[in-house]
Amino acid sequence: MNATIAKLALQALLGRRRFFLLLAFPVLLIGLVALVTALVDGEAAYEILPGLGYPLVLPLVAILAASSVLGPEVDDGSIVYLLSKPVNRYAVAASKWVVALAATLAAGALPVLVAALVTGDSTRAGALFLGAAVAGTAYSALFLAISAVTRHAVIASLMFVLIWESLLGNLFTGIAWLSIGQWGLRVGHAVSDELPDPANLPYAVIASAVVTVVGVWFAGDRLRSFSVKGDD
């Protein structure tokens, strides 16, 4: 972890247009849930969260956060100048991941909690927040790794979320064992059994941790190759 790198990553995140999208998603989610709660009831409004807020808004926020802290530097080649400094490459990756994670939790997981609380069930809200925090942690690491590999990180990450996590995940139950979002739901199920129980709890925790560690490590390893080759 390098405080200077983290500060630069935060400035990059806050100084780009993507930051406004980052804010728009949670605002729209909370507003929609509040509107449905007022017009119908809390139960109807809650259905928005596992159907839209958790599986779509959360990963989209993680994509925007991870791609903003690293992707632009890869795109314009300035990553080479950053890596010319005597800073451990894995520390660079870890610092950027911490910033991406903080943004994901603040603009992705926390709004899910607030929206769930609006529906009136605090236990269910806490469970969904725990699941969102676990999934957001793994998502941010995975999307950071993707940002270190390709200039088209946003497109590649979106394809992963829309095709693997959403489309195939809804068609084949076995994909729950290889789905970050489903792992988070399983952890949340430990707090409230109203959430789905798609996989084994120890497996979900270990798999989420492995994806997080490997994702950050891979991003650092990729950055190390940048410094050697001097290319993107």
pLDDT tens digits, 181-223: 889 988 988 888 878 777 788 999 999 999 999 999 998 888 7
Domain extent at residue 43: 3-229
Residue 15: alpha-carbon gap to chain centroid: 19
Give me the pLDDT at residue 72, please: 62
pLDDT tens digits, 18-65: 677 778 888 999 999 999 998 888 788 888 888 888 888 999 999 999
pLDDT band at 17 (very low <50, low <70, confident <90, very high): confident
Supply the pTM of this predicted model.
0.88
Give me the pLDDT at residue 228, please: 45
Q: Rounded distance, CA 50 to CA 103, Å?
A: 21
With a cut of 80, say whether residue 84 has pLDDT above it: no
- C-alpha pair distances (Å), 97 with each of 86, 89, 106, 145, 200: 19, 12, 14, 9, 27
Arithmetic mean of pLDDT, 74-87: 61
Q: Rounded distance, CA 73 to CA 80, Å?
A: 8
- Percentage of the residues of the chain whose pLDDT score is greater than 70: 87
Q: Rounded distance, CA 146 to CA 135, Å?
A: 16
Of 172 and 202, the structure prediction assigns the larger pLDDT to 202
With a cut of 70, say whether residue 231 has pLDDT above it: no
pLDDT tens digits, 92-101: 889 999 999 9
Cβ-in-10-Å burial (0-12, 13-18, 19+) of 113 comes to buried
Q: Buried b vs exposed e over 66-96: b needs ≥16 C-beta within 10 Å?
A: bbbbbbbbbeeeebbebbeeebebbebbbbb
Which DSSP letter does residue 199 get?
S
User: Which range has highest mean pLDDT (29-38, 148-157, 169-178)?
Assistant: 29-38
Let me know: does 160 contact 171? Beta carbons within 8 Å: no
Question: Based on the structure, what is the number of domains in the chain?
Answer: 1
- C-alpha pair distances (Å), 202 with each of 6, 77, 124, 211: 32, 41, 21, 14
